Amino acid sequence: MSTEIAAPEQLHEPRQRPGFRRTVKAYVSLTKPRVMELLLVVTIPAMFLAQRGVPNLWLVLATLIGGAMSAGSAGAFNCYIDRDMDRKMKRTKNRPLVTGEISDRGALIFSWVLGILSVAWLWATTNWLAAALSAAAIFFYVVIYTIVLKRHSEQNIVWGGIAGCFPVLIGWAAVTGSLDWPAWVFFLVIFLWTPAHYWPLSMRYREDYAAAGVPMLGVVRGRVTVGLQVILYTWATVVASLLLIPVADMGLLYSIAATAFGAYFIVQAHRLYAQAIRGKEGKPMQVFHTANLYLSVLSLLIAVDALLPF
């Protein structure tokens, strides 16, 4: 019987460093591209509405670049701060700070650099107000939501969601250099939409959030309570979207389509609540995807309506 002793280098083989392409991909994922995409979706229609037509295309591109860096910085800071919780959740177990593809120090430096660049870029290419709003958005998401609210309050998404409303203000400010009532109404729409959009997700991943100790509404409250809150915020979102008609002088296309898609969103929310009353889980992800579709369609309607003469 032969016994072989492994050489020291075989016992402690150094982990291979990921290649350049994989490292770049890891840093991109740190910025939460899906969230970034959703935020940029509302920036463009805000700019069209502010211009009442097609704004300067260079200005649109510059604002989107700055907005992407701002959202990416906030997302990267969030991943850095929440890395302990991400290790406990199935839906976040493949994030680069969990897998070790990116070091904690690297992620923190990346977050700061991206955030500073976003503010500097917007200041240089748009105006000081858009740049200041970018800095405020990062601060609100990182400090108010991630550090203060997320781990300590079931209302974390309600008030923390304000950070996701800033792209509308940034887009409007980039065009006009000011903030007018239509921008604030659009801001209100996204503020009310955020809980209606996110709370169904918290129902779906209830066990994940519970394991990580995050007091999302779907964790600390029953399905019936969450379902009712989703209904209330969905109704409020649709009503706020219709406020744009008199405030921003929206036309016939927006008025009809926003009402129709809003009604569809409301129906889906009521179905989720009805299932909860019957003691069933229902289809929370269907409401989540409906909410995403609703905001995308509403944003498209705002942009198109700004181009129409009626």
Q: Tell me the per-residue pLDDT of 279-289, one tens digit each, with 9 for 90 and over.
A: 887 788 999 99
- Taking 3-state DSSP, the helix, strand and coil percentages for the chain, each rounded to the nearest 5, stand at 80, 0, 20
- What are the structural domain ranges in the chain? 29-177, 180-310
pTM: 0.88
Which of residues 91 and 291 earns the better pLDDT score?
291
Percent residues over pLDDT 90 in the chain: 62
Decide if 198 contacts 241 (C-beta within 8 A): no
Decide if 281 contacts 223 (C-beta within 8 A): yes
Please give the radius of gyration of the chain, using alpha carbons only, rounded to the nearest integer.
22
253-265, pLDDT tens digit by residue?
999 999 999 999 9
Q: State the Cα torsion 272-36-159-296 to the nearest 10°.
A: -50
208-255, pLDDT tens digit by residue?
888 888 888 888 888 899 999 999 999 999 999 999 999 999 999 999
83-107, pLDDT tens digit by residue?
988 888 888 888 899 988 999 999 9
Instruction: Write out the CATH class of domain 180-310.
Output: mainly alpha
The residue behind tokens 């181009």 is: 307
State residue 310's pLDDT score: 66
Specify the CATH number for 29-177; select among 1.10.357.140, 1.10.30.50, 1.10.760.10, 3.30.70.2740.
1.10.357.140
Q: State the Cα torsion 167-172-178-180 to the nearest 10°.
A: -100
| Least confident residue range of 4-18, 59-73, 146-160 | 4-18
Decide if 154 contacts 136 (C-beta within 8 A): no
Instruction: Tell me the pLDDT band of 7, cut-offs 50, 70 and 90.
Output: very low
